[in-house]
Structure 1
Amino acid sequence: METSDCQTIGKKGVLKMDEFVNSSVPHEEIYQMLFENTKDIMLFHDVNGYISYISPSVEFITGYKADELLGFKWKKIIHHKDGLSFDGADLQNFLSVLVSSSGAKYRFLKKDSDQWISLEVVKSRVVYNNDQDISGVMILFRDVTEIEKYQDTLIKAKERAEISDRLKGAFLTNISHEVRTPLNAIMGFSHILCFDGEDPIKRKEYLDIVINAGKTLVKMMDDIITLSNIQSGNIVVSQNPVDVDCFLKEILSSYKDNEKNLSLRIALDPAITQLALLDNLKLKQIFTNLVSNSIKFTETGYIEIGCKLLNSGLCFWVKDTGMGIPLEKHDVIFDRFTYINDDTHIKYGGVGLGLSVCKELVSLLDGTIWFESEPGCGTTFWFTLPHEIYDIVDTSTSENVSLKNKKILIVEDNPMNLKLLEHIVRSTKATIFKAENASQALSLFKKESFDLILLDIMLPDKSGYEIVEEIRKENSHIPIIAQTAYADLYHKETCLKKGFTDYLTKPISHDDLLKVIFTYV
C-alpha cells in the first residue's frame, strides 16, 4: 500500500490498529470496511430470522451476490438438518443457544450447483438496539470445505493404513500356519524316505505327499508374488498364441489323480478352432486357483472347465458340485483373506488369496469375473477375456527323440539344483557339461560348441545377464535358457531383452525343462 493511499485515514501514513480505531474515522465506516473486505462471511439476521446484512465475500464462496440473499430467512439457505428451530416463544433462549454455537458447522448449497459448502461459525453475538432490546444476531462464518476434504482424506488414509495393518497381521498369522503345514509333510516324509526298509507302495505314497506339498508351497508363493507385483505396478501382460483345447486339457491333467476321484470334464465350444492370443501364464494361474478351490470344496460329483466364443471375446468357466458359497459371503468372496466360514478354514486351510488373485488378474487382462452359487449344490465361476484369433500351427514336440550327439551346458552354483538339472537332462542322452560360476562357464563356452545353455541368473562372480552379453558377442544364435527363482513377468521380459532365448522359473518341473530343450535343440 502506498503512503498516499493512507492519507485519507491519517497523516502518519500507515496506522496501527489502535490508532486507526481511535482516529477520527467513524466506527461505522471502520466496521463497514472490515465487513466488505473480509474473506469470511459476516451475516446479520433479525429476531425473525431474516437476513438484513451479509458481506460481499459471500459471492466468492457461494456464488450468490449479497443482494440476492437479503430478506431471506437464513434457515432457508442452509441444509434443513443444520438449522435451529425457533417458534418465537423463547427468543432469549434461542439466541443464547445460537451464540454459544461457536465452532458449529452449516452446509450451504452453492449457487447453480449440487455442491455443498461447509461453513463454520467463528464468532457470534447478540446485537441490541439503542433501547437495549434484542435486534438480532451477528455471525461470522468461515469456509472450511477444503479443510474438511483434507481431513476426510487423512481419515480415509488412516483407515486404509489400519486395514492394511490388520491385513498384514492376518496374513502373517495365516502364512505362518499355511507354510509350516506343507513343510511339515515335506520334511517328515523326506526323513522317512531316507530309510530303505519302507514298502515300495508306501514310498510312492509318501513321495506323492512330498510332491503335492511342494506344489502347495509354489502356488502360495505365486499368489503372494502376483498380488505384490500388481500392487506395485510391476507386472505386464505378455500374450502368446494359445491352443485353448490343449490348454484346458493340460490344466485338468494336473488334477486327474485327485484323492476324491472327482469326475473331470472339459466343455469346449466347437466354434473355437483357431489359436487365441492370450497371456497363458496368467490364464493358467487363474484356472489353477479356481480348479484347486473347486476340488477342495467338492466331496462328490464333478469339476467342469470350459470355454465358449462370444462376440466380445472368450468366456471361460469352472463349475463344481461342491458346498457352494453362502449368500452372506457373496459380496466379500473376492476380498483378501476371506473364507467361507471358520470351520472350512480350519478343515481345508488356505491363505485366502486365491480368488483375490483371480479378480486382480482378470481385471489386468481387461476381463470380468463373476460367479453363480447355491449352497449345497455347487458354484460356477465365469470370466471373460478379450482375444485375437491366430491360425493354428503345429506346436507338437518330439520328446522321445534322442539328443545323443548334442551338447548341453548347465551353469548353476547351487549343488542341489545342479544335480536335479543334470538328472533331468541326462534322460535326453545329450552330453552334459557343468559350470558352477561365470568363469567356468565362459571357459567351457570358448572350448566347446554347445547346442543349448541352461544359465542361472544369480551366480557368485557374475550375473547371468553379464554372461549372456559376452556370449552374444561371439554367438547370436545359440539357445540360452534363463533359470531363476524370480517368478514375475518383469524379470522374464528383462531376460528376453538381455539376450536370453527363453525363461524357466524355479522350481523347474521335469516336463517344462524337457519341453524347452526339445523346442530349441
Structure 2
Amino acid sequence: MLRTKHLLSLLLLSLLFFSPLSSVNGSNIYKKLLKTSDLINANPKEAIKIIDSLKQLPEVNENQNLKIQIYDLESRAALMLKDYNKAYNTLKEMDSLLYVSSEMSRIASNYNRWGMLLTKMGVYEKAMEYLLKAYKIRHDLEESETLVCSQNALAALYFEINEGNMAKATIQKAVKHINNTNDVSLRAMILDNAGQIEEKFGHMDSALFYYHKAIKQEQQSNNIIGQIQTCQNLAGLYIKKDMLDSAFHYAMTALDLANKINAQQDIVSLKLTLTEILIKRSQFDNAELMLLTVYPEVETSIDLKIKKRAYNLFSDIYENKNDLKKALQFAKKTIFITDSLITEDKEDKMSQLAFIYNMGEKEKEIETYQKLLLTKTQKSSLRHAITVATLILLTGGLTIILFRLYKGRKNQTLQLNSELKEKKRLEQDYQSLEEKHTLMSSGYGRLLEKEQKTNSFLKTKAETIDFSKHNMQESIQTITTFSSNMLLGSDIDNKQKMYLEKIHASGKALERILNKMVKTSSEIISSTHDFDICDINVIAAETTKFVKEKQIENEFLEVVFSFPQVASSFKLYSNQKAIIRAFEFLIENAFTYKEQGIIKIGYKVVDKQIRFYVDDSRINVPISTQTAIYQWQNMGVTNHSQLDDENLSPLFHTCQIVQSINSNLNFETSNTWGNMFYFILPLLHDETTKQKNEQVFPCWNDKHILIADDEFLNFEILRNYIKPTNARVSHAKNGQEILEMIKVFKFDLIIMDIKMPQMDGIDTMYELKKQSNKIPVIAQSVHAMESERTSLLQMGFAEFMLKPINKTELYQIADKLFMLTS
C-alpha cells in the first residue's frame, strides 16, 4: 500500500513538472520586447528606457528566459549608441545567465557581441578569440544566417588591424551569402562595412556602390542610426573625391536624421563635416558661423578627438581670414589636445592589459563552472529519464504492479536485508583499512622521528668521544713515554721493571682503544652528514623519474620541468640523496591535491646559490600550514596529529631533511597565482671564471618582506626585484590584510601603497602606530608633492618612494633600514 502511494505521488509530481506554464503578464512582456526590438534601429535611446522599465518588473526576475532576451536587446542598443561600458556590463550579466543554459546558439551570439565590443575597445587579440569561438559554434550548428553575422564581425576586426586581404576576403564571403539572412538591418550593416573596407584600400567606386545599397536597406528597415552612419561615410567619401555638392547633400541628410532622434554626438560630428565642406568652398564666414553653433558642445565634450578636429578647423578658418592671433590660439589648443590624446592612449593600453587579465581570470571561472554544470546536467538528465520511464511503466502496467506487489514484497525485504548486511560489512572493512592506514602513517612518522633522534644521539656521542681523545691522548702519551724511558735505565730491579712493563703495555692498549673509538666516531659523523660533491644532472634525472611514476596516478596535472645547464665553474657540496628525498616529499605534497592545473619543477642558479623549487599554480598555502612550517623550523614545535594529515606530513618531512643539510624550507604564496615551495643551497664557485660586469645583489636570506598593493602587476614587479636577494616575500591587497598578517608572521619590512581599497595606507599606518609596531614601512605612490612627502614621514613612514620604483634605489633604502633595525 505504501509503495502504491509513493508511485502515485511520483505520477502527480511528473504531470505537474511537464505541464505548460502560462501567464498573462508574461505574454504582455514578450509583446513589449518585440516592439522594443523593432524600435532599436529607429531610436535606441528610447529602446534603452523601455528595457530599464521592464527590468524592474518582478515577473522578469523570476523568468530566466525573459532576462536573457532583455539583456540581449540591451547589449544591441548599447553597441549602436557606442555606450561601451553599458555593453560590457550587460554582456557580463548575459555570461552569468548562459552558464546554466545549453542553448549553443545564444552562447555563440554572446561570443559574437563580445568580439564586436572588444574590437571597438581595441583589445584585438581577445576579440579574435571570441569571434572565432562564435564562428565555430555557428558553423557546427549549420546556421547560415548567423554565420553571415560572424563573417561581418571578423571582417570589421581585420579592417581595424590593417589585414587588408583578410578583410576583403571575409567581407566578400558575407556579401556573397547576404541573401541567407532575412534581417534587413544585418544586410545594411554588411554592405556598409564592405563600403568602408573598399574605401580604406582606395576602391572609391566600389565603396560608393556598397554605400548606396546600404542606404536602401536602412531606409527599408527604418534604421535611423544606420542611415546616419552611412550618410556620414558617403559625405566623407565625396569630400575625398572633391564632389562637394554631393558631400553637402549627404551631410545635411544625416544631420536631419540626427536631429530627429537627438543624437547629440552625431550632430556635432556632422556640423564639423559641413564646416569642412564650407572651408573647401572658401566660404569662411559661413564656416565660422556653423562652427560657432557647436562650439559650446565641443568645449564640454569629453571626446578629445572631436575637440582636436574642431580646433583644427578654427585654426584653418582664421588662418585663411588672416586673423593670425586667433589661428595661433587654436593651434596651441590643438597641440595641447594632441598631448592629452597621447596620454589617453597610454591609459587605454594599460586598461586593455588589465581587461585582458580580468578576462583570463573570468574564463578560468567559466571553465570550472561549466565542468560542474556538465556533471549537474548529466545528473538532471538521468533524473528526467527515470521520471519518464516511471510514467510509462505506471501508465501501461499499473494493474500488473498492484497484482504482484504482495508477492514480490517478501523477496525484496530479504534482498534489502542482504544488501544492508553487505553494506555494513564493507563499511567495517573500510574503517578497519582506514585505521591501519592511519596507524601506518603515524608509525612511519614516529619511526622517522626516532631515526633522526638516534642519529642525533650517535652524532653527539661520537663528537664527545672525539673531544675526549684530545684531552686523554696527551696523558696516555706521557705515561707510555715515561715508562719507556724508565725501562731503558739500568738502575731498576726486576720488580720495578715488571711494573713498568705492565704500565707501558696498559698505556699502549689504552691508546689502541682510544684510536678505535675515534675511528668509530668519524664513521658515525660521516654517515650522518655524508656531504660530497653532488651531480646535479643525477638529481634532475631521479626527480623526473619519480614524477613520471606519480603522474600515472593523477592524469589531471600537467608537469613542466625546468632543469637548465649549470656552469661547470659551480659545484654543489651537500648530501645528494637528501636533496632528492626532499624534492620527492614536495612533489608528493603537490600531488595530494587532485584539481586540474600546472606544476613547475626545477632549479635555478642565482648569485652563487641554487634554488630547488616546486611551483603549483592551483592553490595558495593556507595560514594554518604557514604557521605549522614556521613552528617546525623556528620553534621546534611538532604536533603528532599534524603528521597524520596527508597535506601536512610531506611538508614536515621536507623540513626535517632540508634542515639536516643546513637549509630551510621557504615558500611564496598568493590567492591569484598559487604557491611555490623551495630550499636554497650554496654553490662553490671558481673566482677566476667570474664575469667582470656581473651584477651584485644584496643578500637578504633571513629577511621577510610584505608588499601591500591592490594591483597585482605592481606586486609582480616588486617581487621580481626582490627575488634575487633571496628574501621571503608575502602579499597583502589592503590594510585589513596587513593587520591580520602581522599577528601571525614576523616581517622585517613593509612596502605599502598609499591608495588601497577598504583601508588605505594612511589609516593602516595610524593602526600600526596605535599597536606600537616597530616594523619599518616604505610608502609608495604614483605622485606626491614635497610637502606631502614630509607629512608622510611625520606620520611614521620610514621612507617614501615614487612609482615606478627604481630597483637600485629600493636596494639602497631597504639596506639602510635593515641596518638601522638590526
Establish whether TM, by shorter chain, passes 0.5. Answer: no
**Rg larger for:** 2
Larger % of strand: which?
1
TM-score (norm: length of structure 2): 0.19
Larger % of helix: which?
2
The structure with higher relative contact order (CA 8 Å, sep 6+) is 1
